[in-house]
Amino acid sequence: MNPVKLIRMANRIGGFFAAMPDREQAIGDVASHIARTWEPRMIRDLRAHMVNHGAAGLSDIVRAALARLPR
């Protein structure tokens, strides 16, 4: 899947949860949302893009949430 689209989608999710007062809970909720709603292929493609091109463009909350997802 197009990594630019994946980054945009992930950042929108992160933006929604970033308004929560508890940052740790927000990170966990982003990770949970992505794990529940994204196809495994989408997560795999985003991670592959991060390995090959870095995490540029991803918000801090999304980067933290992706680190919590199981491999």
Q: At what angle do helices 60-68 and 23-37 cross, to 10 degrees?
A: 60
What sign for the dihedral angle of Cα 63, 44, 39, 8?
positive
pLDDT at 71: 85
**Residue 25: exposed, middle, or buried by beta-carbon count in 10 A (0-12, 13-18, 19+)?**
exposed
The pLDDT profile of the chain, 71 residues, written as one tens digit per residue, is 899 999 999 999 999 999 999 999 999 999 999 999 999 999 999 999 999 999 999 999 999 999 999 98
Apex 24 CA angle, 23 and 26, nearest 5: 60
Secondary structure letter of residue 14 according to DSSP: H
Domain ranges of the chain: 3-68
- Report the amino acid identity of residue 9: M
